[in-house]
Amino acid sequence: MESTVSPDWNDLITRHEAGDMHATTELVRAALPIITRAIGRRVRPADLDDATQEALCTVVNKVGGIVTPAAFPTWVSVVARRAAFDIVRRQRRTVPVGEATLDRLRGHDTVDVDAIATRLDAPRIEDEMDRLTSRERDVVWYFANNEDASYADAAERLACPIGSLGPTRQRALRKLRDAPGLAVA
C-alpha cells in the first residue's frame, strides 16, 4: 500500500491567492475527490454537477480565508456538504406546475391583491421577531444575514460569549417556530 503525502496547503493557498494558475489547478484537483465524496448521495444525480460546481467555486473564491491551511481537506468537505444542502433546500422551495395549471393561470390577467391580503391574517415575522429578547433577535438576524459567518465572528460582532450563541439561537428559533402567528395550517 503506497502512502500519499499531503501537499503543502499553506504554500498552495498562498500561491493561489497571488494568482498562480498552477496552484489553483492543484487546489481544484485536490478538492474534486473530496467534494465528490462529501456530496455523495446527498443530491439527485441530475444535480451532482451543479453541487460540484458550487462547491468548487466556493473553494476557489474563499480558500484564502482558511485560518489553518492544514485543515483544507476538512474545510472542502464542509463546503461541499453545504453546497449539496443548498441545492436540496432550493428544490424544496420549487413547486412543479403542470400544463393544466399553466392553462388555468394563462386565463387570469389580474391578481386580486386585496383578496389575498384579507386571507393572510397571520402576523408577519417581524411582529414575532419583536417578541424575542434583544439578544435573541440580534443573534437570529446576524446568522440570517451572514450565512457563512462562524460563531467566533458572531461572538465578536455581537459582543457576547461564544458559548451562548448556540443556545440563544436555538431558543429564538424555537419561539419563532412555535409562534401561533407563524403556524402553518
How high is the pLDDT of residue 35? 94
**Residues of the chain above pLDDT 70, percent:** 76
**How many whole angstroms separate alpha carbon 6 and alpha carbon 8?**
7
Torsion sign across C-alpha atoms 158, 164, 169, 175: negative
**How many whole angstroms separate alpha carbon 34 and alpha carbon 37?**
5
Domains of the chain, start order:
9-93 (1.10.1740.10), 122-179 (1.10.10.10)
Q: Which of 16, 27, 139, 129 is nearest to 75 (CA)?
A: 27
Are 54 and 35 a contacting pair, CB within 8 Å?
no
Tens of pLDDT along 135-163? 988 888 888 788 788 888 888 888 888 88
**All cell numbers assigned to 183:** 403556524
**How many whole angstroms separate alpha carbon 61 and alpha carbon 57?**
6
